[in-house]
Amino acid sequence: MICQHPKTSSRLFVSVLLVCLLGFATLVVEGSSGTSGNNVKRPDWLDVDRVTIQEYMDLARQRHKEAIAKARESYNILEAPGYTPDEDLLSQLHLKPRIVKSSGGLPDFQDELDKKLFVTTPTPLFTAEESQECIDMAEEHFETTNNGEWTKLPSGQYDVAGFWIRDIPDVHDWFLKKLQTKLFPLLARAFPEFCDNSVEDLVVDNAYLFKYTPETGRRTDVHTDSGCLSFTISLNSNSDYQGGGTWFEGLQSDEDGEQVIGKQVIEMDVGQTTVRPGGVRHCGYAVTEGTRYIIGGFCMQAKKVEYVRMLLGIGTQGQNLEERQTALEVAIALNPGFDGCYVNLADVLVKQGNTKKAKQVLEYCLEHVNPQCGEVSYTLGSLLFDEGDLAQAKKCMERCLQVDDSDVDAMVFMSQIVAAEGNKQAEREWNERIVGTPGVADMAAAQAYCNLGVLHAGEDLEIDYYHKSLTCNPESFAPRFSLGCAYAERQQWDEAGQEFRLALEYGGASNDDEEMRAIKALYTVAMNTIKRDHPQGVASRDEMIQLMREIMGGTNFDKLAATSQQR
Residues contacting 96, CB < 8 A, separation 6+: 118, 119, 120, 121
All structural domains of the chain with their residue ranges: 1-74+306-355, 77-301, 475-567
Residue 567 has what pLDDT?
59
Residues contacting 268, CB < 8 A, separation 6+: 119, 121, 232, 234, 238, 245, 274
Q: At what angle do helices 50-74 and 8-22 cross, to 10 degrees?
A: 40
Each residue of 117-146: pLDDT tens digit?
898 888 899 999 999 999 999 999 999 999
Please say if the pLDDT value at position 242 is more than 80: yes
Residue 6 has what pLDDT?
26
> Of the candidates 286, 323, 265, which has an alpha carbon nearest to the alpha carbon of residue 98?
265
Each residue of 175-199: pLDDT tens digit?
999 999 999 999 999 999 999 988 8
Q: Is 134:171 a contact under the CB 8 Å cutoff?
A: yes
Residues contacting 299, CB < 8 A, separation 6+: 187, 202, 203, 204, 205, 227, 228, 229, 230, 231, 278
pTM of the model: 0.84
CA atoms of 490 and 472, how far apart (whole Å): 24
CA atoms of 203 and 504, how far apart (whole Å): 52
Q: 475-567: which CATH architecture?
A: Alpha Horseshoe (1.25)
What is residue 231's three-state secondary structure? strand
Strand partners, 276: 230
Residue 310 has what pLDDT?
96
The continuous run of DSSP H or E covering 222 comes out as none
Q: Please give the average per-residue pLDDT across 326-340, as a whole number.
A: 96
Q: CB atoms < 10 A from the CB of 477, how many? A: 20
CA dihedral sign, ordered 24, 30, 32, 34: negative
Each residue of 487-536: pLDDT tens digit?
999 999 999 999 999 999 998 898 999 999 999 999 999 999 999 999 99
CA atoms of 337 and 60, how far apart (whole Å): 19
What is residue 229's three-state secondary structure? strand
First CA to last CA distance, the chain: 45
Fold of the domain spanning 77-301: Jelly Rolls (2.60.120)
- Report the range of poorest mean pLDDT among 68-77, 78-87, 452-461: 78-87
What backbone phi and psi angles, to 5 degrees, belong to 153? -120, 140
Calculate the CA dihedral of residues 192, 193, 199, 203 and round it to 10 degrees.
Answer: -120
Q: Please give the average per-residue pLDDT across 76-105, as a whole number.
A: 80
Q: Is 52:330 a contact under the CB 8 Å cutoff?
A: yes
- In the chain, % of residues over pLDDT 90: 71
Please say if the pLDDT value at position 203 is more than 80: yes
Q: Which amino acid is at 54?
A: Q
Strand partners, 246: 266, 284
